[in-house]
Structure 1
């Protein structure tokens, strides 16, 4: 199994002071960066093949990898047009998507409990989505809607006539089987070729779900603490509410 961590963006909505901006994966909570948390939990889960998709200030991320003394090679792929959408970042890691085996595609700016990752990687080869039914309504969360356990929508804005029996927030992590990852890469390439490189990669995932060419299961992670960090108040909430709920990390031996 391979993990692709998307960490290319500018993070403009975080409103970091001028001259002090840095990749969000380097945000620290309890003295540990989000990046180190990702790597420790992936290794503890047995996922040692990690690809980092970088763009903004890649040298600072490389410095963090050296600082933490990470013992395994982490493949780094650069998206020079990181100012565009995450579809383009996913396109830059197309080789990692298509070289075989199950693939995890993970947003870097998420503080989460290891139960989230355990739900994602459990079992044999599978396509899997994560849903949290306890979420705040509004325009910001990416909603995942199911009807008879089948995904029928993955978007921030829902059509008024959409029929579903389950709704929740999509955690920013996806698992794809080998053939599904290849199809996902094809859809992403279509976005780039048609001038839609500025789109979020969730739109390509949505297309994959709605074409019904692949079967997905959904793991319900309601109750497991996590937060995607986009705005300054997310940092405050992560520190105040999420961090105290996290299970202590159990690091795999290095």
Structure 2
């Protein structure tokens, strides 16, 4: 009998953005430290991770890094956090940010989060429960934007594409900015990210460009459709308002057993209507 226990992945949170879409408000507080439904955005991500058994974190910081570090250290005393600073945060994209986390991640499986994504914990549970490797959370009911990953399918042919030239019509779904990357894929991914960053013209590329290149070279990637679950990627003031309407209460750390009880109670109530 094997005594092996599956180790929880490392959570890698990219929180380097300036939050320019909030205008003057971004100068007062980092975007990920703004409150949605009574809880700070970054706090929601961290508590969702803790609810799912993730206890090791890598935070890649840039804009107002000291404020974010102080918030995490004060709010989550005792958790294992490695901080990485992206000094080029104002003129680089998520590919550069993720590349900087390479040493902190090491050879571990990891889940990458864009810090401006607000999501319910069930999305992360489904991702962690998936037996597939290299999984991108996608929403098949949301049109793709021009600057997000576009086509990831479970077709064995390496036809996934994530470049900005892909149109929404060709998209399988919209990637939301949460991905699980297998330990065995890490070295290839970081090599690809490094190659992208060697080209000065691609300094603002998203990390999803590297996923597309790996897929085209034969590395399997899979889509996890999270349609019907609550999430918002905050890229505008309108997105922020949507998130506040969707997430109306502060986040709590919920165990898997508690979640099942809540789901069962909700289902029973629905049947009685």
Do both proteins adopt the same fold according to a TM-score greater than 0.5, normalized to the shorter chain?
yes
Preserved contact between residue 137 and residue 175 of structure 2 (Cα < 8 Å): yes
- Aligned partners of 1:102, 1:19: CA distance in 2, in Å? 35
- Aligned partners of 1:62, 1:160: CA distance in 2, in Å? 37
- Structure number with bigger Rg: 2
219-228 or 23-32, which moves further after superposition?
23-32
- 2:247 is matched with 243
> By percentage of residues, which structure has more strand?
1
- Aligned partners of 1:59, 1:218: CA distance in 2, in Å? 35
Moved >6 Å (runs of 4+) = none
Deviation at 1:130, TM superposition (A): 1.5
> Residues 157-213 of structure 1: CA distance to partner in whole angstroms, max 9, x if unpaired?
426996xxx72111201111112111110001111223232222221222122221x
Aligned length: 244
Tell me how large the CA RMSD over aligned residues is: 2.6
Runs (5+) with no aligned partner, structure 2: 1-8, 256-273
| SS at structure 2 position matched to 1:50 | strand
- 1:144 is matched with 151
Preserved contact between residue 100 and residue 178 of structure 1 (Cα < 8 Å): yes
Preserved contact between residue 114 and residue 247 of structure 1 (Cα < 8 Å): no
Preserved contact between residue 113 and residue 247 of structure 1 (Cα < 8 Å): no
List aligned pairs for 1:79-90, cutoff 5 A: 79-83=86-90, 84-90=92-98
- Aligned partners of 2:99, 2:81: CA distance in 1, in Å? 18
| SS at structure 2 position matched to 1:4 | strand
Deviation at 1:6, TM superposition (A): 0.3
> By percentage of residues, which structure has more helix?
2
List aligned pairs for 1:1-254, cutoff 5 A: 1-17=9-25, 19-20=27-28, 22-83=29-90, 84-97=92-105, 99-123=106-130, 126-136=133-143, 139=146, 142-146=149-153, 148=155, 152-158=160-166, 167-195=172-200, 196-212=202-218, 214-240=219-245, 242-244=246-248, 249-251=252-254
Preserved contact between residue 138 and residue 223 of structure 2 (Cα < 8 Å): yes
